[in-house]
Amino acid sequence: MGSVHDTNSATAGVKACSPLVGAQRLREMLKDPSKAVICPGVFDGFTARLAVAAGYDALYMTGAGTSMSRLGWADMGIATLNDMRANAEMIASLNPAVPLIADADTGYGGAIMVTRTVTQYARAGVAAMHIEDQVQEKRCGHLLGKQIVDREIFYSRLRAAVIARDQLKSDIMIIARTDARQGQGFDEAAERLQEAVRIGVDAVFLEAMQTREEMEKVCKLMGDIPVLLNVVPGGVTPEYPIDDLVKMGFRIIIYPGLCIGPLLTACKNSLESLKTNRISPKESFGTGIRDAFNFTGLEECVAIDKAAGGKAYDTVGH
C-alpha cells in the first residue's frame, strides 16, 4: 500500500483526465521486480472510494462482484461487455491516477468482439484487462466444471487484443489468463501462457494453482513477464502472506472477494436485526448518512459549484 490519494479536493474526480494515466502509472509500478502491485477487489463506486481512501495504489474490478452487484446474479457468464465496461468506466473515473485492473472475461466473442472490448476498456480508462480461455458460458475461476477452448481459439483472442492495443497506441496492459489448470493440468496451462507471451501480452495469470510448487514454478517460467496471482480464501490456491508471495515472484496480487464477504455479512445482520427487533440497529446508516455523503464527494461537488459561481449548494443538509 502507498499513500492515500486525494479524494476530497474539488478536482479529485476530474484531474489527470487522460484515459492513459492509470495504464502509464501501472507500467511504472511494475518496473521494480522486488515489489508487487496489491489490488483489493472492488465492484462499485463505494467500495472503490473505500479502497483508495485506505491507501491502495491500484484497484481490481472483480467480475464476480460486478455480476452480483449490478445484476444480482452469480458469476456464470451473465454479465455482458456493456455491463462490465460501464462499471469499469465509473470506477476508473473516480480517480484516474489510481490504476484499475479489470476482468474482461473471454473478451465477449470472437476476434472482432475482442478488438471492440479492448477499445472500449482502453477508452474507459482501464489500466489493464485480463482475457481468459474459458468457453463463452464461463464461470468464476475457482468453481468446478470449467470448460476450456482449444489453444488456437485462445490465441486468436489474444492476438486480437494485442492488435487492438497497438493500433490504439494505448498503454493498456493485456493480461492472458488461463483456466486450463483444473481440467488439463499445470503443464498445459503454462504452455498456453508461454505462447501468450510470444503473441505479445504484457502479463500472465494462471488461475487456480494448487500448490506452492506450482506458484513458484510459473514465476520462474515467465522470467521478466509480470505474473498475476488471484487470492481467494477458501479457493483451490493456498494463501500466503504478501511478503512470501512477492518472494515467490508475483508482481500483481489481487483479492477479488475482499469487500464482498464483509458487505454480505454486515448487511445481512442489519436487515435481520431490524426484522427481529423492530428498530434499526445502532450501527446502521442512521446519523452517519452525512459522513457517507462527504466520503462519496458531497464537499467536492459543493466546491465545484462554488468555483463556478453557483450558490445552489450553500446549505446542504438532509
Are 222 and 293 found together in one domain?
no
Residues marked active site are found at: 60, 75, 103, 105, 130, 132, 140, 177, 207, 230
Within the chain, strands assigned E span 37-42, 59-61, 100-103, 128-132, 173-178, 203-206, 227-230, 252-255
Are 185 and 315 found together in one domain?
no
The radius of gyration computed from the CA coordinates of the chain, to the nearest angstrom, equals 20
pLDDT reported for residue 17: 41
Are 177 and 255 found together in one domain?
yes
Residues 6 or more apart whose CB falls under 8 angstroms from that of 67 comprise 73, 74, 75, 76, 78, 79, 83
* Within-domain flag for 273: no
Are 179 and 224 found together in one domain?
yes
Residues 6 or more apart whose CB falls under 8 angstroms from that of 294 comprise none
pLDDT in tens, the chain (318 residues): 443 333 333 333 333 344 458 999 999 999 999 999 999 999 999 999 999 999 999 999 999 999 999 999 998 889 999 999 999 999 999 999 999 999 999 999 999 999 999 999 999 999 999 999 998 765 554 455 579 999 999 999 999 999 999 999 999 999 999 999 999 999 999 999 999 999 999 999 999 999 999 999 999 999 999 999 999 999 999 999 999 999 999 999 999 999 999 999 999 999 999 999 999 887 665 556 778 888 888 888 889 988 999 888 876 654
- Looking at the 3D structure of the chain, how many domains does it have? 2
- Write the DSSP symbol of residue 5: P
What's the Cα-to-Cα distance from 52 to each of 2, 223, 289, rounded to whole Å?
Answer: 10, 31, 20
* Within-domain flag for 270: no
* Within-domain flag for 11: no
Domain that holds residue 257: 21-264
Rounded CA-CA distance 276/271 in Å is 9
* Within-domain flag for 279: no
Grid cell 504452455 in the structure block, residue? 191
Q: In 3-state terms, what secondary structure has residue 254? A: strand
> At 169, which CATH number?
3.20.20.60
* Within-domain flag for 278: no
What values do phi and psi take at 93, rounded to 5?
A: -75, -20
Dihedral of alpha carbons 303, 309, 315, 318, sign: negative
Rounded CA-CA distance 252/218 in Å is 13
Rounded CA-CA distance 248/185 in Å is 20
pLDDT reported for residue 191: 98
Are 111 and 250 found together in one domain?
yes
Rounded CA-CA distance 34/52 in Å is 23
pLDDT reported for residue 288: 67
Q: Position 112: which residue type?
A: I
* Within-domain flag for 9: no
Are 193 and 289 found together in one domain?
no
* Within-domain flag for 275: no
Rounded CA-CA distance 286/288 in Å is 5
Are 133 and 196 found together in one domain?
yes
Q: In 3-state terms, what secondary structure has residue 134? A: strand
Residues 6 or more apart whose CB falls under 8 angstroms from that of 192 comprise 133, 151, 154, 176, 178, 180
Are 240 and 298 found together in one domain?
no
What's the Cα-to-Cα distance from 18 to each of 53, 120, 146, 195, 219, rounded to whole Å?
Answer: 22, 15, 38, 32, 33
Are 219 and 84 found together in one domain?
yes
What's the Cα-to-Cα distance from 87 to each of 42, 65, 69, 100, 102, rounded to whole Å?
Answer: 10, 11, 10, 11, 10
Are 226 and 306 found together in one domain?
no
All 3 cell numbers of residue 112? Answer: 472482432
Q: Are 117 and 107 in contact (CB under 8 A)?
A: yes
Dihedral of alpha carbons 201, 204, 207, 213, sign: positive
Are 105 and 209 found together in one domain?
yes
Are 305 and 252 found together in one domain?
no
What's the Cα-to-Cα distance from 12 to each of 191, 200, 297, rounded to whole Å?
Answer: 43, 34, 9
* Within-domain flag for 271: no
